[in-house]
Structure 1
């Protein structure tokens, strides 16, 4: 593949919410205003720039702003999209546990670690409820980098074991998922921050899931994409990719983006629906914390249990721009959807099943209909949530 098919890195930039631009080689993970960064417009891949010999997300290297000399790959991407009968309709299930560490996070981490490596990083820091940490640990090992991973003390043992096995230093942090993030930000003053929530290059990897849908569907866009949201990176990755493809005239319409969240951790869904997240939570629970505020009940969908997503306004805007929607689902709905997926041979973790529960709700409401082309993204495997899966049987 000719080097001319790769993006002109010198012309690209990142931008914060205030509109301030930074060079792509500026070693920052957030803007001067404290907001998260996005990479400025990157030309979309075209059918003739896809590298057919590359069986990984790097087949779309023409639209990934990383110097090819520093690519770190474990074969991430190119995950299967299989037919699935769901509530009487045929949908496409995108099985992201076929990624190297069994989670969609490998897409973003592969690109992010490759970028950090190109910037001379020798050590990286990540905070995660499990899947992100496993992925950063794996790709750091592949790239020859040291890694330190901060995880909530309640993270499932299987995910902690995976991080340790890859040789990363692990620190268990008490408190909420957001408190873990706060500790990571404090430590990022000393270690390059490879944050799947903050780093703009992470989204440049997650966007490849949408390229794959487009290619698998004969270079057309689906009508709907449904997914669980914690921090919203899959929603934003799809928004970035479909925006690129639409601008290039490679698709005729923007797919509608739909998301589900656990009802006690639904700030994106509530905001999409015009609700104040704290008031909505108060309406769902009578429990109160020592501060008098509504208390959140832990969800079996641990990977999406994020009370304060870094990119909340951007994710809400992406859903609105697409004409999609969002719902908060109960633990009973998550458990039911998990069991229903397993009965179909898909051993998805409860976090993944939040998207399936959301799909059911949108089907029942007549918003998603059988004649439409719908892709359900299943983000991770139940093998990494053994304790939570066991509780369902």
Structure 2
């Protein structure tokens, strides 16, 4: 959730956030939830919640009729191939409004499946003062210039850091931060010699640059860095090349858990005690904990403790498990609700408030937007252990200025 933190401790901000949206803590016992998406409902419309607490501002489709509340547009895919995750985000925003009991914000949903630019134009024409979304990087690129001309900030759910700035904010989980965090932790545990396996793609190229820089800054050494294509035997060939440079203490595999699990046994043939390192991709990968070959692997991600409680609440209201990314929608709404306390109805959204240096606290932990418009996050390090994941390095309680 997105409660502003003005004290020095981000932990206090989390406490304040929980007080604002107390419904997320109705149960003290968290259940284990799927890391991946739940099956998408057959109906294209956003699911309506079970009656609870009355009208808390509401989420509607079309032109909002309430002129006494600040207007927020949610741009996500509500139809087409990405409708499942889009609807889950939309449900999460509704849940956030209900939990916050906000009387100052009204959210209107706009389907980006028919064109993100058209959805943005319509939202702005209908009075939107801030845009939440879109989800996909290409959609953000289409929406950003439209919103910029209208003076409407965009809080996107993409993780493409190149999109940040000029009124566009990137709330998604940046791979660079995850890699830097796990490398720093590994170095603190005595890892000196690192290896890297990265795919031949934009993600892999960016991961390589971050990885090399992170190892250097941590005082380690990159023994070998290998790339691979998506061909069936490509990873095996890359590992064989890497093993010529063995031994290494840890190897970053910048890919999903299935690829990492296939590579891990091959790596250990040359370096039996090597530690596998993953990226933020593993946090939304429902199979990561079940991959026996990844037992002992480390990866950095947003904290999961509050998410589990949120997921329990989501299930109770919508009778389905949420997509992991839906928490971005929840946190974005609570952020807007917090700022709305100082946002006069009918006036421009106070964009400067997004740059609070102390940051905000959310379901996904503490975060703050930098000058580049990218959300800097306080990440934890998790270890795959015995069919589950456990936290071995908690998220920091404060940002280093």
Instruction: State which structure, 1 or 2, has the greater radius of gyration over its C-alpha atoms.
Output: 2
- TM > 0.5 between the two? no
Asked which structure has the greater RCO (Cα within 8 Å, sep 6+), the reply is 2
Q: TM-score, normalised by structure 2?
A: 0.28
